[in-house]
Structure 1
């Protein structure tokens, strides 16, 4: 019996090693952590809007600091405290004052971060080159737009009537894209999609993601969003493109900064931004779709 158990364990470890080598992460560990994050997300989303706002603020705050840290590792001086304060302020503005508050907070955060970086440069050193200073400022502004600004659209979407189901649909379809691409890529992947940007992505994985996105989009649309099935097809197609594009964008950023993951504190996943990359642009697109359909009016 013991020999049989040892043999089975060895086979599982070998299988997991092959999957990890092909997909780039520990599958079983990633699933466990993913389920835990999903439980926290669903609990905060469905039961209390203010709790969901706190959850989003925590996510985008940490993710923004991760990106700022990656920039600093690459030699770009992006103020991490300034980015964190700006990120939390933008989420709060979206929660209390809506779309107008989010837009105004973006301008205020951009001004704050610019002034912060200039003062930091003046205090720390006197020989700052204008080209370097401009590069640092624009890197900080990119961090603000890419993480807290895009992420705050989830707050705007949640505030609509039945908005919790639209946010749930957004995450469900985006996760389905990730799972579909992962499963098809690991089992069927042969033809590289973007080998210079993301070597693990394949066209077979993209096809699996497309099928998963359409199925999830149609199912959640007719069961929870009270919309016709073809809206689900549009939802699935839009999130398929934005989630894939977001993933490739973050891969391009990491390649440019010469880092493997934004951080490594989430076992099996890397950093928070490594998990939010597909959700951030998708949030804006789903918000726009809901706006066109009159859900937000």
Structure 2
């Protein structure tokens, strides 16, 4: 037993009112910290949104959306090429089918009646013919498809209650021809290249270079761009951005040629220069088409980011360049 002079050493319990006060003080501090965190989060979101809007206004594209879409396409395309080449035909048919549908729809919006159903059917058929029958199969299918689309439009005119003027019909036919020549003919070069021995590696290589062109032009144009390249066609494209795209494409071209294709370094310089020119030409061509049609984007297939054709405009002519270079190197 404790001695009387030691007293009781057990702590005296705090009054209930004190415990309640401490709990209220803790809750108040927790709420204040949470409110402060939420306020900081809202401010950061607002700052990010403001910076993104400024970049979009300056460059004409939503950068986060562009990166996300590019990564998604890269995963799908590269996976199909590496795992099983024939599966890439599904990817190519989808991309070209959507692309010709978008362009035909945009032309119809501008008053040029290009039949959409046969346009898509022909584009997909050319993809299959190119992979199975090579250049001859692709060319014959494309020519037959153009005749099919033209006859489709003429039948529509023949059964129309109100006959359009002959000038309008001729314009519709030539526009239908242009859709196939611009999207299908250039795009099918990717299929022809893929079907070749080690062709899938060439496809991956030139796509890397196209991405380098786009990235180099974006980075240098954003930071140093002052002199417009074609102000009437694409006001945001500058000569400084073009120089940056050439430099980036040469660097990536050398890397992919040496490591992926087993070619000497100077082949990468040639590939980089050619692809930088073709990719820029493709971008300007689509800008000219949209200006002629009086639209900002080919479609709204990718919400807030334009259409599929807006994303593959640089790839189309670059595919033809890469295919020709493959033939020169290997034959």
Give the TM-score of the pair, scaled to structure 1: 0.96
User: Are the aligned partners of 1:30 and 1:267 in contact in 2 as well (CA < 8 Å)?
Assistant: no
Runs of 4 or more, structure 1, over 4 Å off, are none
Q: Distance in 1 between matches of 2:135 and 2:205?
A: 21
Pick which of 134-143 and 201-210 moved more.
Answer: 201-210
Give the match for residue 110 of structure 1: 146
Answer yes or no: is 1:73 the counterpart of 2:109. yes
| Equivalent of 2:279 in 232, 238, 243 | 243
Residue 92 of structure 1 corresponds to: 128
Separation in 2, partners of 1:114, 1:144? 12
Give the whole-Å Cα distance in 1 for the aligned partners of 2:191 and 2:183: 13
Q: Which residue of 2 aligns with 1:4?
A: 40
The structural deviation recorded for 1:12 is: 1.7
- CA shift, 1:50, in A, is 1.4
Partners in 2 of 1:96 and 1:26 — Cα distance?
Answer: 39
Larger radius of gyration: 2
| Greater RCO, 1 or 2 (C-alpha within 8 Å, sep 6+) | 1
Q: Distance in 1 between matches of 2:305 and 2:273?
A: 25
Alignment pair present for 1:197 and 2:230: no
Alpha-carbon distance, 1:185 to partner: 1.3
Residue deviations 1:93-133, cap 9 Å, x none? 10110110011011101110111110011112453322111
Q: Distance in 1 between matches of 2:161 and 2:223?
A: 54
Q: Which runs of 5+ in 2 are unaligned?
A: 1-35
Displacement of 1:52 in angstroms is 0.1
Question: Which aligned pairs between 1:23-34 and structure 2 lie closer than 5 A?
Answer: 23-34=59-70
In structure 1, what is the equivalent of residue 194 of structure 2? 158
Number of residue-to-residue matches in the alignment: 295
Match of 1:227 among 263, 270, 287: 263
In structure 1, what is the equivalent of residue 25 of structure 2? Answer: none
SS in 2 for 1:242: helix
Mapped contact 1:29–1:267 kept (Cα < 8 A):
no
Aligned ranges 1:117-132 → 2 under 5 Å: 117-125=153-161, 127-132=163-168
Measure the CA separation in 2 of the matches of 1:169 and 1:284. Answer: 14
* 1:268 Cα deviation from its structure 2 partner: 4.7
SS of equivalent residue, structure 1 residue 190: coil
SS at match of 1:293: helix
RMSD in angstroms over aligned alpha carbons?
1.2
Kept in 2, the 8 Å contact 1:33–1:267? The answer is no
